[in-house]
């Protein structure tokens, strides 16, 4: 099987990472590449690391350009995917890397994004309970946010096993590519190198309702989430430090067992041996997630920590993994668990 | 008044930062500089940024070398300060930058450090309630740990005002200088650049009992602390993200008011205007602490975040601030609130 | 003596560094702060590291606002200084941190900047032969470019002593703050972290004629300069690696002697002991320059390397040093040779 | 064809990168992994990014362990390869990633390495004139040094076309992984982040004679090399800025034409379009080399700049490329020209 795939939004960081992965995917032929403000430019000027595509030209993001592909990836600013998707036809596999179709609750969407809700598509996190079944054969996929991927994978085993109380506290550090390629003063290298700083504190980050949605579904009750994202001086990577109060009777052994069970057969999520902790460098450019968990008996809390590459497993790698499932391919096709380190 | 000050452990990061600050202190003359493995070497080879001291030679750390100074700073590996201090006489101001005299509870010390407890000295965090009185005129000072400084300043106003429940959850990112100058593989530039990773997870970090001690004293009840430190790809800086459940009746206004009151007259702790968040780059090389606080109504938690320079306010600047109080000088002498940025 | 100083362009990196230094200058009172697009904003929102000025408001850059100060620093985009300067009166000390008045040759200016030449002011590099005399009592100062400062200090002793042929080859690495605070895609943290890249290759960089001007004046003949600047993943610092063919009879000893003589009495330029090499980290935030020189007998070249902080000695520190000379103050007033490291 | 390959020195940076590439090589099965001080440890503890090999144990580096493989990679400290290689038999393809067999001149070796010369093996830089022929079918390969790879590729077209005088001036910036994994104080993250510094100035770097050997062979006369390496604050990457005086009659067009001709058919060396410059980020983790060249008419010099990943094309990727040629495989098997960026 070879499918032709188009990438809308090929000049951004998510689009670039999609192309990096698709270039190595044995069943994909890369079709149209689009960008709006950059239409007409050589990709080599915008994504100089994608040498085999250096002479390809960006086209405008229109339904005509995107037509005739079996798969279309949408890496567009939020709010723009629905209009494109509805013109692509029900037989095209449309994978939205943006936020538009992630949330089930329209009021959550409207509160956090301030626009009408476009709908809900099957959610591209196969590792969640029931996650694979929702994706197999689907023609629409909503790729999760990078933070929700890291947080949901770190915490769901505790909730699935009934070990944690329904109040999660999360502090995550992200590399700057998570903030995109649009130039803003606070994202300048001069500003971010040597600095850690938080943003969206106090519940305001748009990824919060998505985390609540995922964890609540597993827990069978509403899980509240206190989420603080921070910007770290590195280009890629998310380290999510997540904790919740342990329920009665929890022990270090029961916590370990729950995580071993949850990830035993997962190709991309790797529960580290006891005593070893995740590092974002270890998953640089890979689709792997490193997870470790501890039970702090003195504080009565379960602490689960995950590391992933926000552009790979957190965005484009997750998108390709879901594509594989939707197309009936082996889930790991074209993806690696090997990081580029040091 | 001019005092002569010796620095034991002048070749390390804490010692270097002490010298950087003392060189700019109008009432201090720098006396003996000692180091054990580096005795006999030029300081210029070990601390090339301290140009005015480049030709000074390191002497061995002995009581004879340290005698004859009004002030002695001890920047030694933990467990070594007591033996030196007891030979210095009761009239010498001895300021221990290490951990030996911070904890009040001997069993805490023994559990976390594995050696007999040396005692408890006045604690060098003037901003805590009663903090200044304990230091004025004292001849012994235990300089707080860098993480406990950041965490205690972020959270004590909430506890002092009775706004927070007695279970604190803390995730802090530290620059690599906090891990010291002894070369270890995981601290190589190749390993840390581009990477975030946690360590001492689950209650094992030695700074945890110090945080519990400080917060409990303010709260009037035992505060449990879940503390996760992480290593960030930057040389300096701590960003501490601290939270606790809000008690009944707490509002955003009551939280803000408590923090405004706590820091209204503090020369070094700066509560940022609403909407602005701390960044470690803003306090690079300065003794200032940036604090911000939010009330997350949906999650029912108070989130307080502080940024400081782990070597300045978190170590050497805090030491000089305490020295000033102990000597009866203006507390801010020789210290700055101006960071080196970008 | 206390002078009132205004800073035009206070929201940029050069302006911020000027304020950082002036805040610590015992003879300066900070007057008006101006900015065009940012007029009306709190300085604390734009320069959060300058805590003592956080509540100051930016005013527009007009002659009326700048009037009534003994000293006016102009940190404006090139081409804008002349119009402001001519309205300030001949008794005001005007220090242009921009490029407008650095070059003596009008055709050089026009070729590299594409606009009419505004004139030539006394050049603010006191360490050059005759440099101090030109500045003492002057009412106008053109602050050198950051690269020309680093390169001229590294190479002039070789030319002054007649040791080097008149063809210099220079490769310099600069931190990103040298490119300013205007957000551009290639200056994003995501792009610069982990990357080295050249720019302005082949003689196109605007600092090239300034280097030629300085070195030729010392050499007494025209010195050609091949200059390649590179962008390094750090916020501050310039490392300039400069070389030239050695003339006949040159030895390692004659080279060393020339450099020792050139810098023997300089307060800010430090010739390192043999075997030790400059590092930009050692001069972070300081006005010091570290220089080292080698004679490569096999290649027949003199290699001179300098490290400085592009914002301090390379811009704002150089400006303050010149101000001191122009006002008749001790040249080192308000400046430090102590770096912030690690 | 499937060959079994052993890696001696699997715990270091070169060994880790070899394994990263060999894991993706379709014709290689990974056999024994050895390390001396780390023998007996899990690879997952030493190279946590190589997830598929996490449970493999390191064995001691002995001829017995390395026997029975068609290919053996030696990533050992210099001076140790000969003793191992001579016990491996003439039919085993032995690829030395170290320096032992690179130099043809025994006196060069002895002067720079201080030990007896082990010999000279076919040199693994296929892009040099005659380079491929020397490797095809060979059973021994000396992998070039990372700097000589970058420099030789940047400059040889100018010498092959007779455009440049025989005196090259080179300044190169390298990421810290080039200095290896042995912990030393000056390689700590705290020291290297935010800093650029030179080392081995004045002709002392061991890669200098290798550059002279390569360029002289192409030029047909002895080329002198002035080489200054600098340490840059990034984990990977080399940016080599190389220049030489242009010979008589050289023009921008003749320079461009020489480079276009040299690299027209090269799979890994990419001459960038005019106006675009190399960046190490663009080749992160890839085997590609970006090259650009300019003719500075005013200075009369040709400036050629290359960017590569010191661990990939500069070490392990170059080794795999040579292995492919030696085994008769397509030269690009298992290698990519796609970088991981941003």
Number of neighbouring beta carbons within 10 Å of residue D271? 19
- pLDDT value at residue B51: 97
Q: Do B184 and D181 touch (CB under 8 A)?
A: no
Residue contacts between B and C (CB atoms, under 8 Å) = 95
Closest CA in chain B for residue D190 = B235
User: Could you tell me the pLDDT band of residue B204, with boundaries at 50, 70 and 90?
Assistant: confident
pLDDT above 90 for B10: yes
Q: Is C146 a catalytic residue?
A: yes
Closest CA in chain A for residue B243 = A169
From chain B, the residues in CB contact with D188 under 8 A are: 176, 181, 183, 187-189
Give the residue-averaged pLDDT of A281-290. 98
What's the pLDDT tens digit per position in C222-260?
A: 999 999 999 999 999 999 999 999 999 999 999 999 999
CA distance to partner chain B, nearest, from residue A280 (Å): 5
Query: B292 — contact with chain A (CB < 8 Å)?
Result: yes
- pLDDT value at residue D326: 98
What's the pLDDT tens digit per position in B183-194?
A: 999 999 999 999
What's the pLDDT tens digit per position in D303-336?
A: 999 999 999 999 999 999 999 999 999 999 999 9
Closest partner residue to C226 (CB to CB) among D203, D228, D299 is D299
Structure tokens at A231: 């910007």
Q: Do C176 and A189 touch (CB under 8 A)?
A: yes
Subunits close to B (at least 3 CB pairs below 8 A): A, C, D
Domain boundaries, chain A: 1-142+312-325, 145-306
Tell me the C-alpha distance between A15 and A247, whole Å. Answer: 42
Structure tokens at C321: 């040093």
- pLDDT value at residue C203: 80
From chain B, the residues in CB contact with A284 under 8 A are: 194
Q: Are D200 and D230 in contact (CB under 8 A)?
A: no
Q: Where are the alpha helices (DSSP H) in D220-316?
A: 252-263
Subunits close to A (at least 3 CB pairs below 8 A): B, C, D
Q: What are phi and psi of D16, to 5 degrees?
A: -65, -40
Top CATH class, A1-142+312-325: alpha beta
Q: Do B190 and D233 touch (CB under 8 A)?
A: no
Closest CA in chain C for residue A179 = C190
Tell me the C-alpha distance between B190 and C148, whole Å. Answer: 32
pTM over 0.95: yes
Tell me the C-alpha distance between C140 and C138, whole Å. Answer: 6
Structure tokens at A308: 């992933």
D54-83 burial, b if ≥16 CB within 10 A, otherwise e? Answer: bebebbebeeebbeebbbbbbbbeeebbbe
What's the pLDDT tens digit per position in D26-51?
A: 999 999 999 988 999 999 999 999 99
- pLDDT value at residue C106: 96
pLDDT above 90 for A1: no
Q: Are A278 and A307 in contact (CB under 8 A)?
A: yes
Strand A238-246 vs strand A164-174: parallel, antiparallel, or unpaired?
antiparallel
What's the pLDDT tens digit per position in A222-242?
A: 999 999 999 999 999 999 999
Structure tokens at D163: 């455009």
Give the residue-averaged pLDDT of C70-97. 95
What's the pLDDT tens digit per position in B71-98?
A: 999 999 989 999 999 999 999 999 999 9
Q: Are C34 and C61 in contact (CB under 8 A)?
A: yes
- pLDDT value at residue A39: 95
User: Could you tell me the pLDDT band of residue B245, with boundaries at 50, 70 and 90?
Assistant: very high
Tell me the C-alpha distance between C51 and B307, whole Å. Answer: 14
Q: Do C48 and B284 touch (CB under 8 A)?
A: no
Confirm whether the ipTM is greater than 0.95: yes
Q: Do C184 and A185 touch (CB under 8 A)?
A: no
User: Could you tell me the pLDDT band of residue D204, with boundaries at 50, 70 and 90?
Assistant: confident
- pLDDT value at residue A36: 86
Query: D276 — contact with chain A (CB < 8 Å)?
Result: yes
- pLDDT value at residue B36: 86
SS (H, E, C) chain C: CCEEEEEECCCCHHHHHHHHHHHCCCCEEEEEEECCCCCCCEHHHHCCCEHHHCCCECECCCHHHHCCCCEEEECCCCCCHHHHHCCCCCCCEEEECCCCCCCCCHHHHHHHHCCCCCCCCCECCCCCCCHHHHHCCCCEEECCCHHHHHHHHHHHHHHHCCCEEEEEEEEEEECHHHHCCCCCHHHEHHHHCCCCEECCCCCCCCCHHHHHHHHHHHHCCCCEEEEEEEECCCCCCEEEEEEEEECCCCCHHHHHHHHHHHHCCCCCEEECCCCCCCCHHHHCCCCCEEEEEEEECCCCEEEEEEEECCCHHHHHHHHHHHHHHHHCCCCCCCCCCECCCC
- pLDDT value at residue C1: 76
Q: Do B280 and A194 touch (CB under 8 A)?
A: yes
Q: Which CATH architecture has domain A145-306?
A: 2-Layer Sandwich (3.30)
């Amino acid at each position: 099987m070879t499918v032709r795939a188009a990438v809308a939004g090929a000049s951004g960081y998510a689009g670039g990472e999609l192309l990096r992965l698709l270039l190595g995917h044995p069943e994909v032929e890369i079709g149209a590449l689009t960008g709006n403000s950059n239409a007409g430019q050589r990709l080599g000027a915008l994504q100089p690391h994608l040498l085999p595509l250096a002479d390809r030209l960006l086209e405008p993001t229109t339904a005509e350009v995107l037509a005739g592909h079996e798969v279309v990836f949408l890496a567009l600013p939020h709010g723009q995917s629905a209009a494109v998707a509805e013109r692509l036809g029900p037989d095209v596999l449309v994978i939205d890397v943006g936020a538009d179709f992630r949330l089930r609750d329209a009021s959550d969407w409207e509160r956090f994004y301030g626009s009408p809700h476009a709908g809900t598509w099957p959610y591209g996190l196969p590792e969640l309970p029931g996650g694979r079944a929702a994706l197999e054969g689907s023609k629409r996929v909503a790729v999760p946010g990078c933070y929700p991927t890291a947080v949901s994978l770190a915490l769901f085993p505790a909730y699935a096993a009934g070990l944690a109380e329904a109040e999660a506290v999360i502090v995550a550090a992200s590399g700057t590519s998570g903030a995109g390629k649009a130039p803003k003063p606070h994202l300048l290298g001069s500003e971010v190198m040597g600095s850690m700083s938080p943003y969206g504190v106090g519940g305001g980050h748009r990824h919060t309702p998505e985390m609540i949605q995922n964890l609540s579904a597993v827990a069978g009750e509403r899980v509240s989430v206190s989420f603080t994202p921070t910007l770290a001086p590195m280009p890629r990577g998310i380290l999510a430090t997540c904790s919740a109060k342990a329920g009665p009777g929890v022990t270090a052994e029961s916590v370990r067992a729950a995580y071993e069970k949850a990830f035993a057969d997962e190709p991309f999520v790797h529960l580290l041996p006891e005593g070893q902790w995740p590092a974002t460098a270890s998953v640089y450019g890979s689709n792997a997630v490193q997870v470790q968990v501890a039970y702090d008996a003195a504080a009565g809390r379960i602490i689960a920590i995950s590391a992933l590459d926000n552009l790979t497993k957190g965005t484009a790698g997750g998108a390709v993994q879901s594509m594989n499932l939707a197309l009936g391919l082996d889930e790991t096709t074209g993806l690696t668990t090997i990081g580029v380190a040091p």
